[in-house]
Amino acid sequence: MRQREGDAIGAKARGAVVLRSVAITGGNLYADRRRSRVLVIFPGAIGDLICLGPAIRALARRHQDASMELMARAELARFAVGRMGVSAGHSIDRREMAAMFRSSGEPDSAAREFFGAFERIYSFFAADDPHVMGALERYSGAEVSTPPFRPPGSGHMAELYLRSIDADPGEIRSRIDCTPDDRAAAEREIARVGLPKSGFILIFPGSGSAAKNWPAERFAALANKLGADCALAILGPAEADLAGFFPARGIASLSGLELGTLAAIAEIAGSFVGNDSGMSHLAAASGCRGVALFGATDPKRWRPLGDVIVLKRLPIESITVEEVLAALALA
C-alpha cells in the first residue's frame, strides 16, 4: 500500500498520547487520551459512504464524548471531516494497514502505535477475514466490531448499515453539512461557467458502470428542453470521453471538482437528474431534489435518500426525455 501522507503520529509523554501532526484531512486530533477516539474503517466509494452516513452519525451519538474518525479512500476521508459527523480522517492506504495482512515477521510498531490510540474500532473492511480482524485486535488492544461491507437482508443499504451496528433505523436520511469554503468554491465555479447563482439543473450522466447509464444524448436533449443556459453537466473521471460532448451542444460542464465543492453546487441547484450513481447520492444528501434513473439495479436498496423521484425501467434507454421532464415537474 502507498506511503501514508501526513498521518497522525503518537508519542508517550507524562502518561498521555501526544499527537505531533494531524491526519490527512487536517481534522482535530486530541493531545489528551482521556478523550477517547473511535475509528470507522470503510472501503467503499462515494455512494457507499453517503449510504453509511446515517450509521456514522448514529455512532457519533453513541460515542458523543469521543473523536469520531474515518479511515477510507483518501479523498473520501478528507470529504467526510466536518461534513458527515467525522472529526478526523485517515487514508485506508496508509502503511499501517499493510501490517494487517502480514502472516509472519516482526510486529509492526507503527501499526501498534496508530491503532493502539483508538479505544473502539468499527471495521467494515475485511470483516469476513479472521486473520485481518485478529491482527487489528492485537495491534489495537481495543474492542473491534466487524459489520459487513454489504450487510444482508432487505431494505435500503443505509438501513442495513444502521442495523449492522445495532442502531435503530428510524427515519433514514443522509446529510452533508457544506462548509463556508465549499460554498465559496461552488460560487466561483458557477460564475466561471456563466450560470445563474441558483435554480439551475444539474445533470449527472455517468456512474460506476456504463451499463447503469442513460444515454448521454438523452441527457443533452433533456438539458436543451429545459434551456441549455440553465443546465450544468457534472463529469467524473469515468466520463472523460464526454469532456467535449456537452459544451459542443451549448451545455456547460464541470469536471475534476472536490467533493465538497460538488456538494455545495448541489445545495444551491434547483434540481438534478442522474443515474444510479454516487453523484446522485451526493446531491440528494446535500438537499437537492431530483430524479434518479435506474435500470438493472434495485432502487429499494440503492435509491438516493431525500426528495428524489425514481424512474426505473429495463432497458434504461427506454426511459424517455418526456418522462423525465414530467418527473422533474413533480420533484
Are 203 and 284 in contact, with CB atoms under 8 Å apart? no
Bridge partners (DSSP) of residue 72 are 91
* pTM attached to this predicted model: 0.88
- Cα–Cα distance between 319 and 293 in angstroms, integer? 8
* pLDDT at 330 (0 to 100): 87
Q: Which of 15-19, 28-32, 56-60 has the highest mean pLDDT?
A: 56-60
Q: What is the CA radius of gyration of the chain?
A: 21
| Rounded CA separation 161/167 (Å) | 9
pLDDT score, position 31: 39
In this predicted model, what pLDDT tens digit does every residue of 33-50 receive, in sequence order?
Answer: 445 999 999 999 999 999
pLDDT, position 5: 36
Question: Is the pLDDT score of 8 beyond 80?
Answer: no
- pLDDT score recorded for residue 35: 58
Asked whether the predicted pLDDT for residue 121 surpasses 80, the reply is yes
Of residues 22 and 277, the one with the higher pLDDT is 277
**Tell me: the pLDDT tens digits for 171-219?**
788 999 999 999 999 999 999 999 999 999 999 999 999 999 999 999 9
pLDDT of amino acid 24: 47
Average pLDDT for residues 137-156, to the nearest whole number? 95
Rounded mean pLDDT of the chain?
A: 89
Residue 234 has pLDDT above 80, yes or no: yes
pLDDT recorded at residue 260: 98
Using an 8 Å Cβ cutoff, are 286 and 204 in contact?
no
Range in 17-31, 41-55, 149-163, 260-274 the model is least confident about: 17-31
pLDDT confidence of residue 106: 80
Residue 232 CA to residue 219 CA, distance in Å, equals 11
Average pLDDT over residues 281-289: 98
When pLDDT is averaged across residues 93-101 and rounded to a whole number, the result is 93
- pLDDT value, residue 277: 97
Residue 304: band (very low, low, confident or very high) from pLDDT cuts 50, 70, 90: very high
Write a three-state SS string for the chain.
CCCCCCCCCEEEECCEEEECCCCCCCCCCCCCCCCCEEEEECCCCHHHHHHHHHHHHHHHHHCCCCEEEEEECHHHHHHHECCCCECEEEECCCHHHHHHHCCCCCCCHHHHHHHCCCCEEEECCCCCCHHHHHHHHHHHCCEEECCCCCCCCCCCHHHHHHHHCCCCCCCCCCCCCCCHHHHHHHHHHHHHCCCCCCCCEEEECCCCCHHHCCCHHHHHHHHHHHCHHHEEEEECHHHHHHCCCCHHHCCEEEECCCHHHHHHHHHHCCEEEEECCHHHHHHHHCCCCEEEEECCCCHHHHCCCCCEEEEECCCHHHCCHHHHHHHHHHC
Say what the pLDDT of residue 247 is: 95
pLDDT at 223: 96
pLDDT for the residue numbered 178: 98
Residue 91, pLDDT above cutoff 50: yes
**In which band, very low, low, confident or very high, does the pLDDT at 256 lie, cut at 50, 70 and 90?**
very high
* Nine cell digits for residue 235: 463529469
Non-local (6+) Cβ contacts of 115 within 8 A are: 39, 96, 121, 136, 139, 140, 142
96 and 114 in contact (C-beta within 8 Å)? yes
Domains of the chain: 10-164 (3.40.50), 180-330 (3.40.50.2000)
